[in-house]
């Protein structure tokens, strides 16, 4: 990472720390160690640290997967336990003090009992899991939920996920993922809030608050982990685990703010990412884990490595062996090693030889025990391990209702020609065609680690339960997701011909997005495209319902369908939420959190890009312009786009005055009118553009949004207050500052809509 000038804040902290640094130099060991702000002292924890052996400390700094359950990464049987007895023995030995992917109150109670009664230090264990979009009741994948632009919803679903997780002995979730993802080939786009930093910040905050609540010691809240720190979403070519080669200005302007938002909201843990940034893997990146995280931001929680990422520094070519990797990660500020066992194996010797100072280890132990204490585990070690709750508190009616609400609010109506939607519950014959119309195993999304497929509601079930005459709904698969079925197209065409309208349920399977699921072509698999093209030949109107974990390139009959719904993976209540919209009991309100490209090869494609010196505009022709031979510069459907069942008209953006002094503010307003005949919820978006800056700025940047309810015929004036904060960017000096000059501001229905007003910011 390019080290540019430190901020004032960082500088002053460094000054404060000078004494500490020089004392290390005097002692002569680990002279490159630069400490962060010390973790707060607590008598009970200090007492424990003073009595622990280095091996016991190394145990506290390690976490292992319960590989008897669901592996979430490669399992190395030499490094990790593979049976329940192994786990018990390793708890007794002090090696296992934290376990993830385990679930179940009875088992956890037994492990906790062993830890409290059969180990020397009697320190409680902590149990973690990837609770990303629900525990048993699944909510829409985070990308889908981000489409709702509804932070209150995101907070409530995270709280509900925490409620169910703590009913099955989970204290710590490895969520939210707050990586900004500008390349749709990257499979992990599904797990975050999409391409925009501001939306990412809002979702990060909401999810942390939902998971952690007001009281982390409560039996029903979980510790949040903002991941993956950092720039994991910036991997080159959208290929998972790849290098991220970005300048520090981009790191700070685009990728770090959602982390900062998560920590400001109270997240007490973070996970160092797999990728390197400009050659420095995150788990060994002192600048990231210590200078920025603890120095500048005064983060008080713990850093856990992502699954063996400390060991992977050997593959990166950053560490020569496990010992070296251990040293580099602990010195960089990674407190806890996930899954590799390296800290357990190497810390004692590294400390014995003076290559890692005991105080460095103690500081990490202090942070880990501090988090255990914050969770209330010392006073209540059996918290969230109630066998009764595990039975009573899963799939509560209110959580199922919330899953349905979330599903409904996450579907983006991309296109609705001739108002073909909503459909009628009676008197209309519907053919539901496609491999994703009635497959429970493709409803939940990539991170349902405890999948409850039996209770998942498919689109066929959802439609079937609402349609008045069940005989008016014909369900035909037509093909598999990735392969033709013999006679499949013929029977689908027959069903289409007999129907008034076709709903085409096509897209990706659950396992085509998520970790290690990068794609080269982000298209709908050929078998489904062939099916769609054949159905279109019947001439029947088509409503496409997409199942997907990323923005897709749409082609042929799918692109040209009369209506398109981006439905992501909507979770347990998928089919019911969709049917609520398709039959018009509710109007769609979600917006795209990622831009749909014209062609896959446009990736990375994001609305808030910079201008080139030869931009293509719609009027200046194509010669010597920024475009591809086969596709223009723009998206098919850009970030922020989405329709309702009504018609919302935007008046021009207006400002309370054309000039704004640096420390002043102005009101930016626009009148929006629901000129349709239905009630609608509109996501009103506020964008800015800095026309001339010392570092060129994006063509537009989202700065705020509001969810506005409008009755049919209703008009409202929407106001946003503009301050210099909205106009600031990360300058070459790494400070977040605004520069005087001209700006465009928009109140708009999407990142490409609206009529701008001009503002001059004066020095």
Bridge partners, residue 648, by sequence: 674
Question: d(Cα 410, Cα 448) in Å, to the nearest integer?
Answer: 17
Shortest Å, Cβ 82 to ligand NOJ = 17
Q: Which two tokens stand for residue 560?
A: 């040209």
Q: Which of 179, 306, 324, 580 is catalytic?
A: 306
Q: Is 64 in the site for ligand NOJ (CB under 6 A)?
A: no
Q: Shortest Cβ distance from residue 226 to ligand NOJ (Å)?
A: 11
Closest to ligand NOJ by CB, 306 or 682: 306
Of 306 and 312, CB closest to ligand NOJ: 306
Site for ligand NOJ in 301-330 (CB under 6 A): 306-307
- Residue 533 annotated in active site: no
Cβ count within 10 A of residue 345: 17
Shortest gap between Cβ of 232 and ligand NOJ (angstroms)? 8
Q: Which two tokens stand for residue 140?
A: 């829409």
- Take residue 164 and report the two structure tokens written for it: 């169910």
Q: What is the DSSP string of 359-411?
A: HHHHHHHHHHHHHHHHTTTTT-TTTT--HHHHHHSTT-HHHHHHHHHHHHHH-
Instruction: Pick between residue 174 and residue 344 the one whose CB is nearest to ligand NOJ.
Output: 174
Strand partners, 654: 669
- In the structure encoding, which two tokens stand for residue 10, read together? 């960082």
DSSP conformation class of 212: H
Q: How far is Cα 81 from Cα 91, in angstroms, rounded to an integer? A: 10
Which of 153, 103, 150, 154 has its CA nearest to residue 132? 154
Using CB under 6 A as the binding criterion, the count of chain residues that bind ligand NOJ stands at: 8
Beta bridge partners of 750: none
Give me the least distance between CB of 472 and ligand NOJ, in Å please.
44
CB-based contacts of 664, cutoff 8 Å, min separation 6: 723
> Which CB sits closer to ligand NOJ, 174 or 568?
174
- Of the two residues 33 and 229, which places its CB atom closer to ligand NOJ in the complex? 229
Contact of 123 with 369, CB cutoff 8 Å: yes
Residue 559's contacts (CB-CB under 8 Å, 6 or more residues apart) are: 636
* Shortest Å, Cβ 747 to ligand NOJ: 37
Q: Is 66 in the site for ligand NOJ (CB under 6 A)?
A: no
Q: CB of 80: closest distance to ligand NOJ in angstroms?
A: 13
Residue 546 backbone class (left: φ over 0; alpha: ψ -120 to 50; beta: rest) = beta
Cite the beta strand spans of 187-327 per DSSP E. 225-229, 269-272, 276-277, 280-281, 302-305
> Taking CA 202 as the corner, what is the angle to CA 654 and CA 693, rounded to the nearest 5 degrees?
55
Angle at 301 (CA atoms; ends 295, 307), nearest 5 degrees: 105
* Cα separation, 544 vs 536, whole angstroms: 11
Q: How far is the CB of 38 from ligand NOJ (least distance, A)?
A: 28
- Of 73, 247, 584, 651, the one binding ligand NOJ by CB under 6 A: 73
Q: What contacts 655, CB < 8 A, 6 or more positions away? A: 666, 667, 668, 669, 722, 745, 757, 759
Nearer to ligand NOJ, 75 or 468 (CB): 75
Interface with ligand NOJ includes 72 (CB under 6 A)? yes
DSSP at 289: I
Residues 456/139, Cβ–Cβ less than 8 Å: no
Nearer to ligand NOJ, 191 or 363 (CB): 191
User: Which of 240, 264, 137, 249 is CA-nearest to residue 189?
Assistant: 240
Burial profile 570-581: b = 16 or more Cβ within 10 angstroms, e = fewer: bbbbbbbbbbbb
Of 306 and 439, CB closest to ligand NOJ: 306
Cβ of residue 555: shortest distance to ligand NOJ, in angstroms?
Answer: 31
DSSP 516: T
The SS3 assignment for 320 reads coil
CB of 373 to ligand NOJ, least distance (A): 23
What is the per-residue binding string for ligand NOJ in 487-526, x denoting contact by CB under 6 A? Answer: ----------------------------x-----------
| Helix, coil or strand: residue 423 | coil
> Shortest Cβ contact with ligand NOJ: which residue?
72
Chain-centroid distance, C-alpha 718: 29
SS (H, E, C) 547-585: ECCCCCECCHHHHCCCEEEECCCCCCCHHHHHHHHHCCC
Please, which of residues 96-135 interact with ligand NOJ by CB under 6 A? 130
Q: Closest distance between ligand NOJ and the C-beta of residue 208, in Å?
A: 16
CB of 175 to ligand NOJ, least distance (A): 8
Q: Between residues 73 and 615, which has the closer beta carbon with respect to ligand NOJ?
A: 73
Count, residues in the chain: 763
- Is residue 414 within 8 Å of residue 481, measured between CB atoms? no
Min dist. Cβ of residue 100 to ligand NOJ (A): 6
Nearer to ligand NOJ, 130 or 296 (CB): 130
Q: Which residue has the tokens 């503010």?
A: 665
> Minimal distance in Å, beta carbon 266 to ligand NOJ?
19
From the CB of residue 735, how many other CB atoms can be counted at a distance below 10 Å?
A: 14
Applying the rule CB under 6 A, the residues between 144 and 183 that interact with ligand NOJ are: 174
Name which of 515 and 553 has its Cβ closer to ligand NOJ.
Answer: 515
Binding to ligand NOJ (CB under 6 A) within 220-249 occurs at 227
Q: Which one, 72 or 386, has the nearer CB to ligand NOJ?
A: 72
565 contacts 544 by C-beta, under 8 angstroms: yes
Q: Which is nearer to ligand NOJ, 309 or 547 (CB)?
A: 309
Footprint on this chain of ligand NOJ (rule: CB under 6 A): 72-73, 130, 174, 227, 306-307, 515
> Which sequence positions are flagged as catalytic?
306
């Amino acid at each position: 990472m390019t080290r540019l000038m430190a901020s004032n804040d960082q500088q002053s902290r460094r000054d404060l720390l000078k004494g500490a640094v020089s004392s290390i130099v005097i002692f002569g060991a680990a002279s490159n160690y630069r400490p962060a702000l010390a973790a707060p002292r607590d008598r009970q924890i200090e007492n424990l640290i003073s009595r622990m052996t280095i091996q016991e400390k190394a145990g506290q700094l390690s976490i292992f997967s319960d590989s008897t359950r669901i592996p979430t990464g490669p399992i190395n049987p030499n490094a990790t336990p593979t049976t329940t007895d192994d786990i018990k023995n390793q708890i007794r030995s002090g090696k296992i003090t934290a376990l993830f992917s385990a679930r179940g109150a009875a088992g956890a109670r037994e492990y906790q009992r062993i830890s409290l009664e059969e180990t020397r230090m009697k320190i409680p264990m902590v149990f973690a899991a990837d609770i990303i979009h629900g525990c048993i009741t699944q909510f829409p994948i985070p990308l889908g939920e981000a489409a709702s632009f509804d932070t209150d919803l995101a907070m409530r679903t995270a709280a509900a996920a925490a409620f169910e997780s703590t009913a099955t002995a989970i204290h710590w979730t490895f969520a939210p993922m707050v990586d900004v993802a500008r390349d749709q080939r990257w499979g992990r786009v599904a797990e975050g809030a999409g391409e925009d930093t501001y939306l990412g910040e809002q979702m990060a905050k909401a999810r942390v608050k939902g998971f952690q609540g007001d009281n982390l010691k409560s039996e029903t809240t979980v510790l949040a982990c903002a991941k993956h720190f950092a720039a994991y979403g910036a991997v080159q070519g959208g290929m998972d685990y790849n290098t991220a080669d970005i300048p520090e200005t981009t790191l700070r302007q685009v990728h770090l703010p959602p982390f900062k938002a998560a920590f400001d909201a109270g997240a007490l843990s973070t996970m160092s990412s797999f990728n390197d940034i400009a050659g420095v893997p995150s788990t060994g990146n002192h600048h990231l884990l210590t200078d920025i995280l603890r120095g500048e931001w005064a983060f008080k929680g713990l850093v856990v490595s992502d699954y063996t990422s400390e060991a992977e520094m050997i593959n990166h070519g950053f560490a020569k062996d496990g010992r070296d990797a251990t040293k580099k990660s602990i010195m960089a500020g990674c407190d806890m090693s996930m899954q590799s066992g390296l800290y357990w194996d190497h810390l004692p010797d590294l400390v014995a030889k003076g290559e890692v100072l005991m105080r460095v280890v103690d500081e990490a132990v202090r942070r880990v025990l501090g988090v255990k204490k914050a969770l209330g585990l010392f006073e209540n070690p059996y918290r969230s391990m109630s066998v009764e709750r595990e039975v009573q508190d899963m799939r509560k009616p209110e959580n199922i209702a919330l899953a349905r609400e979330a599903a409904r609010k996450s579907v983006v109506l991309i296109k609705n020609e001739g108002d073909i939607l909503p459909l009628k519950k009676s008197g209309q014959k519907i053919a539901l065609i496609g491999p994703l119309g009635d497959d429970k195993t493709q409803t939940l999304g990539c991170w349902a680690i405890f999948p409850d497929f039996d209770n998942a509601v498919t689109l066929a079930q959802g439609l079937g339960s609402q349609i008045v005459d069940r005989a008016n709904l014909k369900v035909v698969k037509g093909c598999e997701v990735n392969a033709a079925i013999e006679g499949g197209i013929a029977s689908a065409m027959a069903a289409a011909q007999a129907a008034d309208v076709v709903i085409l349920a096509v897209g990706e399977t659950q396992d085509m997005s998520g970790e290690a699921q990068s794609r080269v072509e982000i298209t709908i698999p050929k078998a489904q495209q062939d099916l769609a093209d054949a159905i279109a030949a019947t001439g029947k109107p088509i409503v496409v319902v997409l199942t997907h974990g990323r923005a897709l390139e749409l082609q042929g009959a799918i692109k040209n369908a009369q209506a398109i719904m981006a439905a992501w993976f909507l979770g347990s209540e998928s089919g019911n939420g969709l049917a609520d919209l398709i039959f018009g009991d509710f109007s769609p309100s979600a917006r795209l959190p990622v831009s749909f490209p014209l062609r896959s090869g446009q990736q990375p494609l994001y609305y808030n890009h910079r201008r080139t010196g030869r931009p293509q505009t719609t009027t200046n022709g194509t010669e010597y312009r920024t475009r591809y031979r086969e596709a223009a510069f723009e998206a098919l459907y850009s970030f922020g786009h989405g329709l309702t069942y009504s018609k919302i008209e935007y008046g021009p953006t207006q400002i309370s005055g054309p000039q704004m002094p640096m420390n002043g503010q102005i009101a930016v307003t626009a009148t929006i009118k629901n000129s349709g005949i239905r009630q609608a919820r509109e996501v009103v978006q506020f964008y800015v553009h800095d026309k001339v800056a010392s570092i060129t700025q994006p063509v537009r940047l989202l700065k705020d949004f509001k969810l506005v309810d409008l009755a049919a015929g209703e008009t409202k004036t929407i106001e946003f207050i503009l301050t210099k904060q909205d106009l600031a960017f990360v300058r070459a000096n790494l400070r977040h500052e605004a520069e005087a000059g001209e700006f465009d501001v928009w109140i708009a229905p999407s990142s490409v809509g609206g009529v701008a007003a001009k503002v001059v910011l004066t020095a």
